[in-house]
C-alpha cells in the first residue's frame, strides 16, 4: 500500500495520500494547504484519486479541497454535522485568519460505521465528535487517522465553535481506545503514536 504524509499549511496539518500499489486508486485525507505538493505526489505516482475526505471542516484541514478536487475529479466526503461549517467563515475559522472563505458542499456524506472502498483499500468511518460536531476518524487495517480528535500525548481543542469536552472524551474512550494495542495512530497534527501508548501516557486520560 502507498501511504504518504505531507505536512501542509501554516498550521502544519498532516495530509495523507493513500493508494493501492497495483492500480494506483487512492484517496486524500485533509488537504489543508500546499496543493501543489499534494498534486505533485499524485502526478509523480500516477494515482487515481477517488475520494477527498475531511476529518472535519476547519480551514486548516480543508483550505485546498477545491483545488485538489478540480484537478483530480475526486468526490469530497464529509460528515453531515460539519456541512454548515462550509458556508460559515466563523465556524470554519477562516474569519480568524482574516481570509473569510466558503466552500461548496460535499458530493457524499459519510456516517458512523460506513465502510468506504477504494480498490482494495477499505476504511471504516468512526464518528468521533468533540473537536467539532462532525469530526470523524478513519480506521484502515492496522491504523487509524484521527484528525484533531486524538494526537500523540494530546487531544483536539474544544474551545472553538461546536467544541464539546464531554463528547471528545466519550469519542476517544468508546471509539478509539477500545481498538487493539498495536493500532498505529495517524493524527491531524504532529507525530504518529499507537493506541496502547495513548491509553497509558496521554495526560488527558490519566
Three-state helix/strand/coil letters over 103-164 = CCCCCEECCCCCEEEECCEEEEEEECCCCCCCCEEEEECCEEEEECCEECCEECCCCCCCCC
Domain count, the chain: 1
Starting from the edge strand earliest in sequence, which strands make up the sheet with 2-8, in order?
Answer: 2-8, 13-19, 25-29, 48-53, 75-78, 108-109
We report the CATH number of the domain holding residue 108 as: 3.60.15.10
- At 20 the pLDDT is 94
Find, among 174, 160, 68, the residue nearest to 127 by Cα: 174
Which grid coordinates belong to 75? Answer: 468526490
User: 122 is in which domain, residue-wise?
Assistant: 2-205
How far is the CA of 188 from the CAs of 25, 60, 62, 155, 202, in angstroms? 22, 10, 12, 10, 16
How do the pLDDT tens digits run along the chain, 206 residues long? 899 999 999 999 999 999 998 889 999 999 999 999 999 999 999 999 999 999 999 999 999 999 999 999 999 999 999 999 999 999 999 999 888 999 999 999 999 999 999 999 999 999 999 999 999 999 999 999 999 999 999 999 999 999 999 999 999 999 999 999 999 999 999 999 999 999 999 999 97
Distance CA 177, CA 166 (A): 15
- At 206 the pLDDT is 75
- At 156 the pLDDT is 98
- At 139 the pLDDT is 98
Distance CA 86, CA 100 (A): 11
Find, among 109, 148, 145, 144, the residue nearest to 132 by Cα: 148
- At 21 the pLDDT is 83
Which grid coordinates belong to 53? Answer: 475526505
Distance CA 132, CA 168 (A): 9
Amino acid at each position: 500500500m502507498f501511504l504518504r504524509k505531507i505536512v501542509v499549511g501554516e498550521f502544519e496539518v498532516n495530509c495523507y495520500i493513500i493508494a493501492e500499489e497495483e492500480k494506483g486508486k487512492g484517496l486524500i485525507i485533509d488537504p489543508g494547504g500546499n496543493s501543489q505538493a499534494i498534486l505533485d505526489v499524485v502526478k509523480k505516482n500516477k494515482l487515481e484519486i477517488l475520494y477527498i475526505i475531511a476529518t472535519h471542516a476547519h480551514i486548516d484541514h480543508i483550505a485546498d479541497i477545491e483545488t485538489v478536487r478540480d484537478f483530480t475529479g475526486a468526490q469530497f466526503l464529509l460528515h453531515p454535522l460539519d456541512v454548515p461549517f462550509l458556508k460559515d467563515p466563523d465556524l470554519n475559522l477562516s474569519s480568524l485568519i482574516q481570509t473569510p472563505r466558503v466552500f461548496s458542499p460535499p458530493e457524499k456524506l459519510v456516517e458512523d460505521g460506513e465502510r468506504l472502498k477504494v480498490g482494495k483499500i477499505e476504511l471504516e468511518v468512526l464518528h468521533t465528535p468533540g473537536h467539532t460536531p462532525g469530526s470523524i476518524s478513519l480506521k484502515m487495517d492496522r491504523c487509524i487517522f484521527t484528525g484533531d480528535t486524538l494526537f500523540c500525548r494530546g487531544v483536539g481543542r474544544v474551545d472553538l465553535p461546536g467544541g464539546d469536552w464531554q463528547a471528545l472524551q466519550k469519542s476517544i474512550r468508546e471509539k478509539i481506545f477500545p481498538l487493539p494495542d498495536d493500532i498505529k495512530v495517524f493524527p491531524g497534527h504532529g507525530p504518529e503514536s499507537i493506541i496502547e501508548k495513548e491509553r497509558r501516557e496521554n495526560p488527558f486520560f490519566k
